[in-house]
């Protein structure tokens, strides 16, 4: 089997599958190659001065090739910010029909959702529950082009008051503030694949509901197993009964530049699969700033190590695989990286989810990182924690 730059076999390489009812290929992971990753931040949210500045003055002259997109959008950042604002804050929900493919695939806490009609229904439901909803783009990492599609990782802060009915119950009147990361693939003005993580556990807690009881109630409405969910399968195990390999940093020559993909795959594997927590000291800055699911905020490598250790203790057979990586930046300015990952494990340890249940758990998430000088300075990691709780607490 061919080896990739990260030292793994080519089974982790991007795959393509046909979207049902469409002749277009849906990338499971971005196809890496020359010109795919932007080498600077000239097209970025920061270069535009943030969300409000972009909405007030988006510009009129296109600065990026966007074949098939509406003329009003000057680049992919402009497209993502303005369609989000128009759909959610201006409440032009029907614009989803113009910006999502009719057979689009959307993966969220509740599984795989097919078609733009389901997206319209879910959006109407959420806006009804939070009529004053506001979405503030905090970061958008992008890669791609006209041929493979534009891949975007959109980190957002969502705010609003719960004055309407939601799937969780009657209006509480409470104000909520939560994080969301949505990874989309857009081609010719249409999003045809999306992986979206809302900090649902934080939302339910802020609404004043009992998180465990809500997980049990809604978990009992879900299928008994995640086996039918195409996002998950048996975690890739080791050949035979061998130990997990330790992936060493490659010997680099001056001028090679920082290997973003190799760094990500190596650090994820060594920390999570090899259980080599010493890698945190090598891959992360001593002054690391971390934000995670359900309001987790950590500073420094020690707290981050403790968080990882808590999950490894909860799920002793945990195995993680990286599903997608893309980034923007360069060695001088640093890199912004989006990594989508999934893992499987069995709840056999004591911890925040109570006594061991023996339940098999599927988890997936999106991690964004700011990397400078070869180490992670900031990290944002969201995973489907409420869905994990549903799997554990169901009757």
Q: Encode pLDDT of 187-237 as tens digits.
A: 999 999 999 999 999 999 999 999 999 999 998 987 654 444 444 444 555
Residue 13 falls within a domain, yes or no? no
Cα dihedral across residues 70, 100, 109, 271: positive or negative:
negative
List, in sequence order, every residue forming a beta bridge with 25; answer none if it has no partner: 18
Q: For residues 42 and 198, what is the distance between their CA atoms, to the nearest angstrom?
A: 28
Q: For residues 32 and 250, what is the distance between their CA atoms, to the nearest angstrom?
A: 20
Rounded to a whole number of angstroms, the distance between the first and last alpha carbons of the chain is 44
Q: What is the CATH number of the domain that holds 337?
A: 3.10.450.50
Percent helix, strand, coil in the chain, to 5, is 25, 35, 40
Q: For residues 186 and 184, what is the distance between their CA atoms, to the nearest angstrom?
A: 6
The answer to whether the beta carbons of residues 377 and 368 sit under 8 Å apart is no
Spacing of C-alpha 169 from chain mean position: 27
The answer to whether the beta carbons of residues 151 and 185 sit under 8 Å apart is yes
The residue segments making up the domain with residue 360 are 260-393
Please tell me whether residues 155 and 34 are part of one structural domain. yes
Q: What is the pLDDT of residue 199?
A: 96
Please tell me whether residues 265 and 332 are part of one structural domain. yes
Residue 377 falls within a domain, yes or no? yes
Q: What is the pLDDT of residue 31?
A: 64
List strands edge to edge, sheet with 334-346.
297-299, 284-292, 375-383, 360-372, 334-346, 319-330
Q: Is 200 exposed, middle or buried (0-12, 13-18, 19+ CB in 10 A)?
A: buried
Please state the domain count of the chain.
2
Phi, psi of 322 (to 5 degrees): -85, 125
Interval 66-114: pLDDT, tens: 999 999 999 999 999 999 999 999 999 999 999 999 999 999 887 888 8
Interval 299-348: pLDDT, tens: 999 999 999 999 999 999 999 999 999 999 999 999 999 999 999 999 99
Interval 229-280: pLDDT, tens: 444 444 555 445 567 888 888 887 777 789 999 999 999 999 999 999 999 9
Helix axis angle, 211-219 relative to 385-393, nearest 10°? 70
Q: Which of 20-34, 242-256, 349-363 has the lowest mean pLDDT?
A: 20-34
Please tell me whether residues 205 and 276 are part of one structural domain. no
Q: For residues 263 and 331, what is the distance between their CA atoms, to the nearest angstrom?
A: 13
Q: What is the pLDDT of residue 16?
A: 40
Please tell me whether residues 143 and 274 are part of one structural domain. no
Q: For residues 117 and 122, what is the distance between their CA atoms, to the nearest angstrom?
A: 9
Residue 228 falls within a domain, yes or no? no
Please tell me whether residues 139 and 276 are part of one structural domain. no
């Amino acid at each position: 089997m061919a080896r990739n730059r990260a030292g793994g076999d080519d089974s982790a390489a991007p795959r393509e599958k046909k979207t049902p009812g469409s002749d277009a290929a849906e990338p499971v992971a971005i196809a890496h190659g020359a010109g795919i990753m932007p080498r600077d931040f000239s097209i970025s949210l920061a270069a535009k001065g943030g969300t409000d500045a972009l909405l007030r003055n988006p510009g009129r002259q296109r600065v990026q090739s966007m074949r098939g997109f509406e003329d009003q959008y000057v680049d992919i950042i402009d497209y993502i910010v303005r369609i989000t604002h128009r759909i959610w804050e201006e409440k032009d929900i029907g614009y989803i029909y113009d910006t999502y493919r009719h057979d689009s695939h959307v993966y969220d806490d509740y599984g795989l959702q097919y078609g733009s009609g389901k997206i319209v229904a879910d959006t109407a439901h959420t806006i009804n529950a939070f009529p004053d909803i506001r979405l503030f783009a905090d970061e958008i990492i992008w890669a791609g082009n006209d041929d493979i599609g534009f891949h975007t990782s959109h980190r957002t802060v969502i705010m609003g008051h719960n004055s309407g009915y939601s799937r969780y119950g009657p209006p509480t009147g409470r104000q909520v503030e939560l994080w969301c990361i949505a990874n989309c693939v857009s081609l010719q003005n249409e999003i045809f694949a999306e992986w979206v993580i809302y900090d649902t556990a934080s939302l339910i807690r802020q609404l004043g509901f009992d998180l465990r009881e809500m997980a049990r109630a809604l978990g009992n409405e879900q299928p008994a197993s995640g086996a039918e969910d195409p996002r998950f399968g048996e975690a890739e195990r080791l050949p035979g009964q061998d130990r997990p390999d330790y992936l060493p940093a490659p010997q680099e020559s001056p001028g090679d530049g920082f290997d973003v993909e190799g760094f990500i795959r190596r650090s994820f594997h060594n920390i999570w699969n090899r259980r080599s927590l010493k890698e945190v000291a090598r891959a992360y800055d001593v002054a690391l700033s971390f934000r995670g699911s359900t309001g987790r905020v950590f500073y420094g490598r020690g707290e981050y190590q403790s968080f990882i250790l808590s999950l490894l203790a909860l799920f002793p057979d945990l195995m993680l695989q990286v599903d997608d990586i893309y980034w923007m930046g360069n060695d001088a300015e640093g890199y912004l990286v989006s990594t989508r990952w999934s893992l499987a494990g069995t709840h056999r340890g004591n911890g925040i989810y109570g006594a061991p249940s023996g339940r098999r758990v599927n988890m997936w998430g999106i991690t964004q990182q700011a990397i400078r000088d070869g180490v992670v300075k900031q990290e944002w990691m969201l995973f489907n924690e409420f869905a994990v709780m549903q799997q554990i607490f169901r009757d």
